[in-house]
Amino acid sequence: MDFDLSEAQQDLRDLATQILEGELSNERLKEIDAGTDHFDRDLWAQLAGAGLLGVAVPEEHGGLGLGYLEAAVVLEQIGRTVAPVPYLPTVVLGALPVARFAPAALQAAVLPGVAAGTTVLTAALVELAADPLAPTTTAARSGDGWALTGQKDCVPAGLVADRVLVPASTADGGVVLALVDPTAAGVTRLRQDTTNGDPEARLILDGVVVADADVVAGPADGAAALLWLVERATAAQCVVMAGVAEAALRMTAEYTKTREQFDRPIATFQAVGQRAADAYIDTEAIRLTAWQAVWRLAEDLPAAPEVAVAKFWAAEGGQRVVHAAQHLHGGMGVDRDYPLHRYFLLAKKLELSLGGTSSQLVKIGAYLADLPA
């Protein structure tokens, strides 16, 4: 495995960094925080104009024709800047599975809007007390389509999404992945505010009929497609956490170099240096395990253990990093006018999304138990 980015991928990263850092001042972020949907539409339009929303969209639909790894390159910069845009939901949860599994006509109907920045996508993977791979939402045949019934929670960008990819179980044990219009008859969309203030959605589906033309994956291959999506969604969150941890650590390094106590920068104190060094080790572990998982997934290699390990480090190590950052900032660490609080809150949200530390340890233990002696 090679973690070095190609020249084109480095250019992509630099372009994303230039746009995000150029637009997202602390004042701009506070302005977005004061809004109702935490969505910087001007920044979204700039990302679209630069081609960054079309990273995973095939060229015939107006995209760059790249893939998951290149989307992860941008996502790391999204994490570094805590950018208030639905990049992960639209590109990873929406565009990637549509481009991979959907019929040509559905791709042509949806993907050009993603690349142009006019269509926001997401996926409803979470149900309360349910395994994302075994949805309790049901799909029953209804004429030339499927009737979906159930409840989905914590749908990212669910209040602004134009289409939502909904997994549902069929009576014979299959899984259907269907693109649902959240304004369709039978859909109730409720606001759910998350740890960092980003509004997500509860979707209540009451016999919502989805035509066969809007089905991304049918019962024959839906379960495999859902696993494919959940693994990529989980690893994508880990890459965002890598960006969050790196930025929080850099912010802490700058602060401790300039904050003086007893006429000395506090960075020169042994206890401060040790705490910062531990945070650096955690940050590197998050980055290494996240990119290992992303690389394997981008190469279509088996990656279930690597994804679980990456999510464990993102959840466990990420919390240690942001707690260390807040601690070493002292009173500034809890000042909501200071940008560090955004990284702390986003890290908590990422820790719990799609399974926290305990659930990942259970998965890792099961993988180890299955290894031959």
Question: How much is the average pLDDT of 201-223?
Answer: 97
User: What does the pLDDT look like over 340-350, one tens digit per residue?
Assistant: 999 999 999 99
pLDDT at residue 1, as a whole number: 52
Burial category of 45 from C-beta neighbours within 10 Å (exposed 0-12, middle 13-18, buried 19 and up): middle
The mean pLDDT value of the chain amounts to 95
pLDDT at residue 31, as a whole number: 94
The two structure tokens encoding residue 236: 């994508």
Is residue 2 predicted with pLDDT exceeding 80?
A: no
Asked if 1 contacts 295 with a C-beta cutoff of 8 angstroms, the reply is yes
CATH topology of domain 223-370: Butyryl-CoA Dehydrogenase, subunit A; domain 3 (1.20.140)
pLDDT at residue 170, as a whole number: 96
Q: Where are the domains of the chain?
A: 7-119, 123-220, 223-370
Is residue 16 predicted with pLDDT exceeding 80?
A: yes
- Asked if the domains 7-119 and 223-370 are classified in one and the same CATH topology, the answer is no
Question: How much is the average pLDDT of 244-256?
Answer: 95
Is residue 3 predicted with pLDDT exceeding 70?
A: no
* Helical axes 68-81 vs 222-258, angle rounded to 10°: 40
Say which CATH class 123-220 falls into.
mainly beta
Higher model confidence: residue 197 or residue 97? 97
CATH topology of domain 7-119: Butyryl-Coa Dehydrogenase, subunit A; domain 1 (1.10.540)
Asked if 96 contacts 225 with a C-beta cutoff of 8 angstroms, the reply is no
